[in-house]
Amino acid sequence: MDNHLDKIDKEILNLIQDNSKITVKEIASKLHKSMNPIYDRVKALEASGIIKQYTAIIDKNKLGNHLIAFTNVQLKEHAEEMIKKFEHNIQKLEEVMECYHMTGHYDYLLKVIVEDMSQYQDFIVNKLAKIENIGTVQSNFMMTEVKYKTNLLLK
């Protein structure tokens, strides 16, 4: 399957993003289609990698993870080997929920979620700072979550 999606594929993806536990039968019913073609489309979307995984969204506040930091990282050296090494090491840090290689003054933007400032300090001092080639680190802390969504609306 190529990355060209028709209207039905997009509707299927929107339904699955709203509820990853939705059944093929429920999708077919909502789209007024028969089950077998919908099943085949879902399998093709999975096989093509458009559907990467099914997941649950957890309320981080109910688990005590109240501090969200957006951490900018500037590397000292930008040789390919050093970049790959940083990216490999950042994968190991469980507090890092997202990592983006960026343009601009800083090289990377990390979204870090921890319980509190003490845990964030521990993360910076005992984990992030131990990664080779870290130059500058600058942190910004979330005060209020104004908008959070995971669905990519497909029209």
**60-69 tens-digit pLDDT:** 888 887 899 9
Residue 113's domain spans which residues? 60-141
Could you tell me if 87 and 124 lie in one domain? yes
Query: Which CATH number do you get for residue 130?
Result: 3.30.70.920
- Is residue 103 in a domain? yes
Do 73 and 112 share a domain, yes or no?
Answer: yes
Q: pLDDT tens digits for 26-49? A: 999 999 999 999 999 999 999 999
Same domain, 38 and 74: no
Residue numbers in the chain where pLDDT is lower than 70: 1-3
Q: What is the pLDDT of residue 2?
A: 46
pLDDT at 3: 61
Q: Are residues 24 and 88 in the same domain?
A: no
Give pLDDT, residue 64. 81
Q: What is the pLDDT of residue 32?
A: 97
Same domain, residue pair 17 and 71: no
| 137 within 8 A of 78, measured Cβ to Cβ | no
134 bridge partner residues:
75
Three-state secondary structure call for residue 23: coil
pLDDT of residue 15: 96
Say if residue 38 is in the same domain as residue 70. no
Report the pLDDT value the prediction gives residue 123, as an integer from 0 to 100. 98
Number of domain units in the chain: 2
**What is the CA angle 23-98-94, rounded to 5?**
95
Q: How crowded is the C-beta side of 28, counted as CA atoms within 13 Å?
A: 13
For the purposes of burial, counting CB atoms within 10 Å of the CB of 71, is it exposed (0-12), middle (13-18) or buried (19 or more)? Answer: buried
Predicted TM-score of the model (pTM) = 0.84
pLDDT score for 67: 95
Q: Looking at the structure, do residues 31 and 91 belong to the same domain, yes or no?
A: no
